[in-house]
């Protein structure tokens, strides 16, 4: 059954769009997104590379034909869950808008899951409509930065799929996305795609070959973890001054949190506060032992997640490549 359609209320869009495909539509720059750019701790040079490539994609493409400068306007961020790829991408979009002349752009977040349909051929139609109608219409009024979160759900590696165990619609959906990207990059030089994925190995190689920049956002190193912990304690101590004393433990906590992503590291402090009714009522009572205990619980959870991921990867490998005979 085809998903209900509604007339889009997004400014600049003409016609109808899938009801939930455009999950967010924001005019940039926005003060609330400014913090996203600095919140994620990344390796030196990453921010400059991302911003330079993005601005280039929205300026050079307007002046040179694709045959001369084959710029697709696609940046891919990959890395483990919790490393801040989506947050960084949103911050990047805001910085791009400020760097353009004149300043300004539109951020459009696409929900790839909303494109999926059980009806034969419908997913392909939705993807084609997204790239050939929805995004061009949105770009009619100025630069558009498109956030494609979890892009691996949209452009699956066709070489890893087996037609015996996977519907041909999966192949056709990837074909439609790649074709749509090619047409979009040549006809709409004021559109930039920011794609994120936790599983780059699941992406079709043809998509990766089209990316102008592929940037890994990895787990925070000890310096980045030190900054994250210091930042968390600074925010917490504003409300609960006794936590100021924990700043003496920053180096120890940074070393103890090796292998933990930034999101979980921040949540560790919340878990420490929630570890007892006493600390929940008064976070001033939180000690370093509470944080270490929360980290130990987190490591148990991480180990269980790794084991589950290995199990799922083995199952997926069997389904993608079933043994004959």
More confident residue, 15 or 73: 73
The pLDDT, as a whole number, for residue 168 is 74
- Average pLDDT rounded to a whole number, residues 296-317: 71
| Confidence check: pLDDT of 193 > 60 | yes
Number of C-beta neighbours around residue 109 at 10 A: 20
- Average pLDDT rounded to a whole number, residues 154-183: 80
The pLDDT, as a whole number, for residue 198 is 92
Give the model confidence (pLDDT) of 113-137 as tens digits: 888 877 778 889 999 999 999 999 9
Tell me yes or no: is domain 5-216 CATH 3.40.50.300. yes
Three-class secondary structure assignment of 215-277: EECCCCCHHHHHHHHHHHHHHHHHHCHHHHHHHHHHHHHHHHCCCCCHHHHHHHHHHHHCCCH
β-pairing verdict for 16-18 and 5-7: antiparallel
Using the structure block, give the residue that is written with the tokens 């003060």: 31
Give the model confidence (pLDDT) of 44-76 as tens digits: 999 999 999 999 999 999 999 989 999 999 999
The pLDDT, as a whole number, for residue 17 is 46
Contact residues for 194 (Cβ-Cβ < 8 A; gap 6+): 54, 75, 77, 89, 92, 93, 145, 146, 147, 148
Residue 256's nearest CA partner among 218, 306, 294, 283 is 294
Mean pLDDT (the chain, rounded): 87
| Confidence check: pLDDT of 249 > 70 | yes
Whole-angstrom Cα Rg for the chain: 22
Give the model confidence (pLDDT) of 199-247 as tens digits: 898 899 999 999 999 999 999 999 999 999 999 999 999 999 999 999 9
The pLDDT, as a whole number, for residue 167 is 63
- The pTM (predicted TM-score) of the whole model is 0.85
The pLDDT, as a whole number, for residue 69 is 92
- Average pLDDT rounded to a whole number, residues 37-47: 93
% residues pLDDT > 70 (the chain): 86
- C-alpha span between 196 and 85 (Å, rounded): 6
Tokens of 204: 């079709």
Give the model confidence (pLDDT) of 287-306 as tens digits: 999 999 999 988 887 777 66
């Amino acid at each position: 059954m085809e998903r209900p359609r509604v007339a889009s209320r997004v400014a600049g869009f003409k016609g109808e769009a899938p009801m939930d495909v455009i999950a967010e539509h924001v005019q940039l720059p926005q003060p609330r997104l400014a913090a996203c750019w600095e919140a994620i701790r990344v390796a030196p040079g990453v921010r400059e590379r991302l911003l330079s490539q993005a601005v280039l994609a929205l300026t050079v493409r307007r002046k040179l034909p694709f045959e001369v400068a084959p710029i697709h306007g696609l940046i891919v961020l990959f890395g483990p869950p919790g490393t801040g790829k989506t947050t960084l991408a949103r911050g990047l979009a805001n910085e791009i808008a400020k760097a353009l002349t004149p300043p300004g752009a539109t951020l459009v977040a696409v929900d790839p899951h909303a494109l999926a349909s059980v009806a034969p051929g419908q997913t392909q139609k939705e993807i084609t409509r997204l790239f050939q109608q929805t995004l061009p219409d949105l770009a009619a009024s100025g630069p558009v930065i498109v956030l494609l979160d979890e892009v691996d759900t949209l452009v699956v590696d066709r070489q890893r799929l087996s037609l015996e165990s996977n519907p041909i619609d999966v192949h056709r959906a990837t074909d439609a996305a790649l074709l749509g990207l090619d047409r979009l990059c040549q006809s709409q030089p004021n559109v930039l795609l920011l794609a994120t994925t936790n599983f780059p190995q699941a992406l079709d190689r043809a998509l990766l070959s089209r990316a102008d920049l592929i940037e890994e956002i990895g787990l925070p190193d000890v310096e980045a973890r030190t900054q994250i912990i210091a930042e968390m304690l600074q925010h917490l101590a504003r409300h609960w001054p006794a936590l100021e004393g924990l700043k003496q433990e920053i180096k120890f906590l940074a070393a103890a949190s090796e292998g933990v992503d930034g999101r979980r590291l921040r949540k560790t402090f919340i878990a420490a506060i929630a570890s007892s009714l006493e600390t929940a009522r008064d976070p001033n009572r939180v000690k370093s032992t509470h944080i270490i205990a929360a980290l130990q619980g987190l490591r148990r959870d991480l180990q269980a997640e790794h084991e589950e991921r290995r199990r799922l990867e083995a199952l997926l490998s069997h389904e993608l490549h079933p043994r004959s005979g």
